[in-house]
Amino acid sequence: MITHKKLDNNYEYIEIKNNQAEAKIALQGAHIFHYKAKNRPALLWLSETSFFKEGKAIRGGIPICFPWFGPHKTDASLPQHGFARTALWEVVLEEELDENSSHVQLQLTSDEESLKLWEYKFDVRLDIVVSSELTVTLTVTNTDTKAFEFTSALHSYFNVSDITNVSVEGLDGSNYIDSLTDKTYIQKGSLSISEEVDRVYFDSSNSIKLHDKSNTIHLKQKGSNSLVVWNPWIEKAKKMVDMPDDGYKTMLCLETGNIGEDKIILKPKEVHLLEVIISSRL
């Protein structure tokens, strides 16, 4: 069942329920902020102090970063992570594929407001398939008469029992940029988290595993050669108004993306697809 709902402040979202899973998707940002497979814990982390209001990004779930990731490289006054995550997207398709799978497609296209922030014409579609796995596909089409360059990410926040219990598999041997030091390193073995982490990994496996105490989250990635790993840790969490002071303990971001040197250049009419399939298993 696919149902359109509103919060008390008229904030619009879609609720999906079928035999295998449930999900919630905000129309602002095409933002998936809840996903839970049958008989499994909620997979996505959501801050209990997150904003659900016009113009504010949700802290948690899967924000869409486009057409740039992080701060704009030449104009710091432009929105962090681009404008897609706070823009109102249009629902163009809703369908029950069968009793176990539901599909929603949302669209964002260039308009007068976006052209003030980014001078290119584009068409972006987000396809979400809710089933025993969560499939998220971001398709960018250049509808302009000139080529453009962009960076993007599916900025996924994952629920964990405690950050000290987790390890990330699939990064061994990958080069990464540590954004805290602006230095490049090579990952050795699996990754554990014991301090603030803000890294962009390149040439990692297309299959990433987030091992927790009694659960493993699997990511299968396509169209991506970069993965962000982020946890704000103690001091930064305290400074974030939309995250509890101890919020860092129960979340880890693994962000499928095209970031930094993995930027995408599209000629007119060209298309790029970025996809992640996420599942949770014992």
Map out the domains of the chain as residue ranges. 2-281
Query: Per the residue annotation, which of 31, 34, 81, 155 is the catalytic one?
Result: 155
DSSP state at residue 162: -
Instruction: Please state, in angstroms and rounded to a whole number, the distance separating the CA atoms of residues 242 and 199.
Output: 22
| Residue numbers in the chain where pLDDT is lower than 50 | none
C-beta separation of 79 from 47 below 8 A: no
Instruction: Please state, in angstroms and rounded to a whole number, the distance separating the CA atoms of residues 206 and 183.
Output: 24
Instruction: Please state, in angstroms and rounded to a whole number, the distance separating the CA atoms of residues 153 and 42.
Output: 21
Decide if 211 is catalytic: no
Residue-level pLDDT at 170: 96
Report the side by side order of strands in the sheet with 167-169: 90-98, 101-109, 122-130, 134-142, 271-281, 216-222, 207-211, 167-169, 191-192
Cis peptide bond prior to 244, omega within 30° of 0: no
Residue-level pLDDT at 204: 85
Q: Per residue in 25-73, pLDDT tens?
A: 999 999 999 999 999 999 999 999 998 999 899 999 999 999 999 888 8
Residue-level pLDDT at 228: 97
C-beta separation of 33 from 25 below 8 A: yes
Phi-psi region of 9 (alpha: psi -120 to 50; beta: other; left: phi over 0): alpha
Residue-level pLDDT at 76: 83
Residue-level pLDDT at 119: 94
C-beta separation of 64 from 29 below 8 A: yes
Residue-level pLDDT at 129: 98
- Look at residue 237 and give its three-state secondary structure: helix
Query: Per the residue annotation, which of 99, 255, 261, 275 is the catalytic one?
Result: 255
Residue-level pLDDT at 136: 98
- In this prediction the pTM is 0.95
The domain 2-281 is classified under which CATH number: 3.30.420.40, 2.60.40.420, 2.130.10.10, 2.70.98.10? 2.70.98.10
Decide if 195 is catalytic: no
Residue-level pLDDT at 282: 65
